[in-house]
Structure 1
Amino acid sequence: MNAQPSTSSSITTGDGVRIAYRFDGEQGLPVLLLSNSIGTDLHMWDGQVPALTEHFRLLRYDARGHGASDVPSGPYSLDRLGRDVVELLDALGLQRVHVLGLSLGGIVAQWLGIHVPERIDRLVLSNTAAYLGPPQQWDRPIAELLEAPDMRATAEMFLRNWFPAHMLEGDNEVVEGFRRTLLATRREGVAGSWAAVRDYDLRRTAAIIPNPALVIAGEHDTVTSAGHGKELAATIPGARFTVLPTVHMANVERQAEFLDAVLTFLTERS
């Protein structure tokens, strides 16, 4: 297979925040936007790029507060995170894309299906939920993170929530990559994103998403449970639902099964 061309750049949003993005794959293919979880950057999808670029031109981006994007202080809102994507699509002249989002990325993808469904073709909502309340449960973790001396304790908490125990033993190269990203992420970005999760509730509005949707859940996910996924799939009209034997990072832990589910859904004829 020939090497796929890639380009990296950034845009500046209406509120002055620089959002970094990257294209991979051949021009002329349908565009698939990938949206990340909290505490990661666009490289969380690196393992899936070769298979996905056989079918799509990939558009990856670092959410505000993460990676090479700016890190504004204070709480973020889901509306702002969603508008970041819309402004990115506008700046790139993209009228309609597929969207694959995991965790917070899946929440942003739901927002897009609710507010700008005409910009979306198909939605894949992985390891995510329409609601992660009650809201007050997030206040203490946000405060403690902002008071912490660094990201070390939070990084280990994320890794325990993301991966099965056997992947955390020894020197797993993939896990170490996620650890490095977490340790390099500024606390303000994680805390601001947690505030967006604290304040959102799409349990009713997800019912107006008109786009074809696939919901993927992890059987052993303790962050966004299989129950959360089942409820979300039941809310979105006509949504499909599949459960993989994973914890939270289904794309990493069971890459082959994850890609099979995603590609089967995105490439089938209407």
Structure 2
Amino acid sequence: MQIAELDGVRLHYRVDGDPDGAPVVFANSLGTDLRLWDPVLPHLPKGLRLIRYDKRGHGLSDCPSGPYKMGALVTDVERLLDMLGVRDAIFVGLSIGGMIAQGLAAKRLDLVRAVVLSNTAAKIGTREMWDERIAQVKSQGIAAMSQGILERWFAAPFRETAEFHLWKNMLERQPAEGYAGCCAAIAGTDFISSTSGLRLPLLGIAGSEDGSTPPDLVRETCDLVPGSEMRLIRGTGHLPCVEKPEEYAEILTGFLRAQGVAA
């Protein structure tokens, strides 16, 4: 376990693979920690520097009092990558991680050479929807609302597996303050204008059964950037990297090879 001291917040991070390889950075979704990517990493090509981290309020990172702003989440990973000496990374972000990816790409093109926007959008939901969820989390806790979240996360067949309960436990054990804080960050974010100004390789990934960011929403965001491409993983929900990790890794590997960073 490694902790980065970043001007008032400590982030838990992990680096796997080749320390001298091309950097690939992974940012996970609301309600998960860096283990979200465990199913995918073994299927990726060798020779890459694979960087994961827990955003503030999640996993083993600090959980400051909320609400959080998206700018703070972007600055956290910006400082982490600067500390690690990373430049020209492929940034893979899922859900709120995809919003962080968009914000970082707009702010620091020296850090990001290409992005993968998985199950995300430039704007997700409405402020009213997120305010309602924040109030519910603070009054009842995550466990009281986890059933609805998990139905959006996973297609019905996966919810009948033993593995499903690992992800249920991960969700319910995240700090409520951190979950609510990141909900506030999503509520206040509209990256449509800034993302439409990006000019870099972009791959969108969507799950056909995603109840949080449906495929059409992902496609609308991808279409903001000329030359982008999008892939649909059928029979998966909001976390296709969990339900079909080999297919997810195959899609990601194709994109990495197209960028010249994987054999």
Aligned match of 1:261 = 251
1: distance between equivalents of 2:73 and 2:226? 24
Amino acid at match of 2:248: F
Aligned match of 1:228 = 217
Aligned match of 2:28 = 36
- What is the CA distance between 1:269 and its match in structure 2? 5.0
Length-normalised TM-score, structure 2: 0.94
Please say if 1:95 is aligned against 2:87.
yes
Aligned match of 2:149 = 158
1:127-206 map, 5 Å:
127-148=119-140, 150-169=141-160, 171-173=161-163, 175-206=164-195
Please say if 1:216 is aligned against 2:214.
no
User: Any idea what the Cα deviations from partners look like across 1:114-159, whole Å, max 9, x if unmatched?
Assistant: 11122112211100011123212211110111011x4312333322
* Displacement over 4 Å in runs of 4+: none
Matched-pair contact (CA < 8 Å) for 2:207–2:238: yes
Matched-pair contact (CA < 8 Å) for 2:154–2:209: no
Aligned match of 1:57 = 49
Matched-pair contact (CA < 8 Å) for 1:207–1:236: yes
Length-normalised TM-score, structure 1: 0.92
1: distance between equivalents of 2:30 and 2:126? 19
Please say if 1:247 is aligned against 2:216.
no
User: Any idea what the Cα deviations from partners look like across 1:208-258, whole Å, max 9, x if unmatched?
Assistant: 112211011122211001111110111012111121212111111122221
For the structure 1 residues 206 and 190, does the alpha-carbon distance in structure 2 shift closer, same or farther, using more than 3 Å as the test? same
Q: Which runs of 5+ in 2 are unaligned?
A: none
SS of 1:118's partner is coil
2: distance between equivalents of 1:123 and 1:55? 19
Moved more, 116-125 or 188-197: 116-125
SS of 2:192's partner is coil
Matched-pair contact (CA < 8 Å) for 1:164–1:247: yes
Matched-pair contact (CA < 8 Å) for 1:206–1:235: yes
User: Any idea what the Cα deviations from partners look like across 1:93-126, whole Å, max 9, x if unmatched?
Assistant: 1122111111111111111111112211221110
Q: Which runs of 5+ in 1 are unaligned?
A: 1-7
Amino acid at match of 1:75: P
For the structure 1 residues 122 and 155, does the alpha-carbon distance in structure 2 shift closer, same or farther, using more than 3 Å as the test? same
Amino acid at match of 2:155: P
2: distance between equivalents of 1:28 and 1:184? 35
SS of 1:94's partner is coil
Matched-pair contact (CA < 8 Å) for 1:67–1:185: yes
Q: Aligned to 1:27, which of 7, 10, 19?
A: 19
Aligned match of 1:45 = 37
User: Any idea what the Cα deviations from partners look like across 1:168-220, whole Å, max 9, x if unmatched?
Assistant: 12x522x2221221222110011000001100001121111122110111222
SS of 2:38's partner is helix
Aligned match of 1:106 = 98
SS of 2:51's partner is strand
2: distance between equivalents of 1:267 and 1:214? 13
User: Any idea what the Cα deviations from partners look like across 1:61-90, whole Å, max 9, x if unmatched?
Assistant: 001000000111111111110000100011
For the structure 1 residues 40 and 269, does the alpha-carbon distance in structure 2 shift closer, same or farther, using more than 3 Å as the test? closer
Q: Percent identity?
A: 36
Q: Give the number of aligned pairs.
A: 259
Amino acid at match of 2:220: E
Amino acid at match of 2:146: A
